[in-house]
Amino acid sequence: MSKELDPNTVMDPPKIEFPCDYPIKIIGVASIEFQAEIVTIVEKHAGEISSDLIELQVSKKNTYVSVRIIITATGVDQLQRLFDDLKTHESVKMVL
């Protein structure tokens, strides 16, 4: 017997226990400076990031780049300030 969810039920987002490893994906316009600028912004909020915690993926046409960085998140306020700061960068198209 399967139990269906009521479509009107509001579900709470999953709780995150801090501190924790937290992946952030930043997608932006590909340029030589983009990765360095993004890492600088992230380090301002999360401290020094080891290069083995950074992954790059360039789009097929080399127009966009995805930078995935794993940080040690310390709280919701830290993440909110980081996301807000990243979204103000002119080359950033999306932060996940």
The CATH number linked to 45 is 3.30.70.260
- Residue 30 belongs to domain spanning: 20-95
Q: How far apart are CA 33 and CA 16, in angstroms?
A: 32
Domain count, the chain: 1
HSE-up (13 A, CA, CB side) for residue 47: 5
Specify if 24 maps to a domain.
yes
Q: How far apart are CA 50 and CA 35, in angstroms?
A: 13
Q: Is the pLDDT at 1 greater than 60, yes or no?
A: no
Alpha helices in the chain (DSSP H): 34-46, 76-87
Specify if 47 maps to a domain.
yes
Specify if 35 maps to a domain.
yes
pTM for this one? Answer: 0.82
Give 87's pLDDT tier (boundaries 50, 70, 90).
Answer: very high
**Residue corresponding to tokens 């995805």:** 66
Q: Quick one: pLDDT at residue 3? A: 55
